[in-house]
Structures are given as C-alpha cells and as structure tokens.
Amino acid sequence: MSVTARKVETLRWRDGKLDMIDQRVLPAVFEYLSYDSAAGVAEGIRSMVVRGAPAIGVAAAYGLALEASRLQGSSENEFRQGLETGIELLAASRPTAVNLFWALNRVRRVWSGLSGLGNAAVAVRLLDEAHEMLAEDIRINRAMGAFGASLLPDGARVLTHCNAGALATAGWGTALGVFRSAVEAGKKISVIADETRPFLQGARLTAWEMVQENIPVTLITDNMAGFMMSRGEIDAVMVGTDRVAANGDVANKIGTYMVAVLAKRHSIPFYVACPLSTIDLTVPDGSAIPIEERAPEEVLGFRENQWAAQGVSVRNPAFDVTPAELVTALITERGIIYNPSSESLSALFRSEP
C-alpha cells in the first residue's frame, strides 16, 4: 500500500483496537477514538465518528473482529450468541449505505465457513478479513480513480457534494479519489465543494482533505451551485453514493438530487463514483432505498449554536435519490457505465469474475 494512499488513515488497527478519526470535530480537532467492541463501533457509526459508505462497511468488519477477540474466552454458545448480537447492533447503526450490510454479509460468510474452529482461530480469521477489506477498498478506489480521471479534461472545474474522500473510505476516496488520480496523472483540476448542510461534510471534511493535498478547492454554500453553473464555472459534477438501486437510481447525501437536476439543466455531466459493493440489485429502484431521518437538532443549528425558533417542526432526511436518467455515468472499479440501467447493471454482475 503506497504512503499517499494512506495519508489520511480514517481507520487504523493499533494495539488490538480499532482507531477511528473523530470526523465530528474535524477540521478544528484531529484526533482518534479507540474502539474494542462491536457495540462501541456501532455507536461510532451511529454518531458519525466514522461516516461515508465504504468506511462504515470496513469499520463494521473490524467491529465484528473486535467482538470475536473480546469473547474468545467464552463458551462456544456464548461466543456465537455474542457475534450474532454484534452483527445486529452494527446492522442497526445506520440504514442507507448498503456497504454496511454488504460488509456484514461478507464477514458472516467467512464466519460460517469456519465451523469446527476454536474461538481464537475465528477471531484471527475475522481480523484478517477486516484487514483485507481495508486494503481492498483502497485498491478499488485507485481503480475507480484511474477510470474517473480519464473523464476529466485538463483544467476541469468539478463540483462535489458531501465528502466521498479518504475520510469516507479506507483511503484515497471515491469521488475525491478521482480528483487525486487526475492530479497524480498530471492534470490540473480544481474542486468546488458544496458545504453540504446540515452536517457540513463538504465544508468540514472535503475542503480539509483537498487543502491537505494542495488540490485547489473553492467552498460554496449549497444554494450557490445553480448560479455557478449558469455562469459557466462548473465543467462536471462528481459525487459518491451510499446505495445504487438495480435500475441505476442513486442514493447519496441530501442535496445531491438538486445538483443533478441543475447539472442536467446546464448540460453538465453528472458522474457517480460507485464501487460494486454500493450497488444493491435487491432494491428495484430508488423508492425502495431506506432513507435515514436524523435528529432535528442538526437542522435547527450546528452543535451548541441553535439558531431556529424553538417549537418549529423539522424534517431531516440525510439522503436523497437521484433518478438514473440524470446520471451521465457510474464509475466502478470495473469500468465506466454510461446511462446506467437495469440492463447495464445486471450485465456488470453477470460479468463478475
């Protein structure tokens, strides 16, 4: 694994524990929190210490490995019950990003294949799998980065929404990984980051990542994107995703749909960087994707600074769905899928090696 791929170590294994950068306090404070149980990791995911679809998936895999290690001295029955409870807690932490469930299914399959092995050996094997998932995520992001970079002309000014960077993955990033790969390939690109209300992943996390790497970045509030597009100041949109339905509809951070509509209006390509683990063929279209509704406090203000009138009613859906017809292309680790559809997505999985 190259050093640059892990410049930002969102998740790291230290002294038998999982360390996660506390993304709630970035960029003011850079600190790691340490976890040693599935319940702890589930709470870290729920409370947004770690966020971003691929990062959540890898964190969950470590969560189960930690639980196995913690319970290895228990009876066979307690161990099995404990891991089942761990999986339940992790699965209940956040509903929208399918990578969480994809990762839990994967580690469950590994565990199921180990019948007859002692608890300690199961714990070792689950930890190996989590390490492999972390390394694999970075390889996948690198592959998507190379495909995606080919879509960006030299000098492109690219809008992104939320944070689909190293912080949202095991490293490199999906949408921001494309920017990193384009820069690595010698292209001059500049990033326009939507601030991404209400949790401010764009202002706090994307801007921070790009500043760290000296990739030119301009921060705008979410309601400025249309103006910038109308003035010819945006050449492409590149976002990540939390779940893509079988027909190509894309769930991503709330506000993404608005950007996609604007991009269509202005004939600007709208790209989605999407590892295969984010495609969910079990949901036919975007209307079946569960959308997380978060606490009203996030909309009423930010942290202790609450600016809205007490007593006002609030909606706080954390994600929205962009219909496939607004998506120019999905960028996967296996190549670029233009005009995603049920046909093209099922063909992608039929061709799985």
Among 40, 95, 240, 248, binds ligand MRU (CB under 6 A): 240
Q: Which residues are annotated as a binding site?
A: 51-53, 94, 201, 252-253
Peptide linkage before 198 cis (omega within 30 of 0):
yes
How many other CB atoms are there within 10 angstroms of residue 173's CB atom? 33
Residue 115 CB, nearest approach to ligand MRU (Å): 34
Distance CA 249, CA 52 (A): 18
Cα-Cα-Cα-Cα dihedral sign, residues 320, 322, 328, 329: positive
Q: Does 238 bind ligand MRU (CB under 6 A)?
A: no
Catalytic residue among 242, 249, 280, 320: 242
Q: Which residue is nearest to ligand MRU (CB)?
A: 240
Q: Does 103 bind ligand MRU (CB under 6 A)?
A: no
Closer to ligand MRU by CB, 66 or 97: give it: 97
Q: Cα angle at 73 between 70 and 74, to 5 degrees?
A: 95
Within residues 54-93, the interface with ligand MRU by CB under 6 A covers 54
Cα-Cα-Cα-Cα dihedral sign, residues 126, 49, 93, 75: positive
Q: Does 51 bind ligand MRU (CB under 6 A)?
A: yes
Task: Read off the tokens for 37.
Answer: 């149980």
Closer to ligand MRU by CB, 17 or 294: give it: 294
Q: Does 53 bind ligand MRU (CB under 6 A)?
A: yes
Residue 172 CB, nearest approach to ligand MRU (Å): 10
Known catalytic residue: 235? no
Q: Does 222 bind ligand MRU (CB under 6 A)?
A: no
3-state helix, strand, coil in the chain (%, to 5): 45, 15, 40
Within residues 117-176, the interface with ligand MRU by CB under 6 A covers 162, 164, 168-169, 174
Residues contacting 238, CB < 8 A, separation 6+: 148, 152, 158, 159, 160, 175, 178, 179, 271, 272, 273
Please choose, out of 132-140, 240-248, 257-265, 296-304, the segment that lies near ligand MRU by the rule CB under 6 A.
240-248
* Pick from 196, 207, 146, 214: nearest CA to 174: 146
Q: Which residues are annotated as a binding site for substrate?
A: 51-53, 94, 201, 252-253
Question: For residue 47, what is the DSSP state?
Answer: T
Residue 147 CB, nearest approach to ligand MRU (Å): 15
Chain residues in the site for ligand MRU (CB under 6 A): 51-54, 97, 162, 164, 168-169, 174, 201, 240-242, 252-253, 318
Residues noted as catalytic: 242
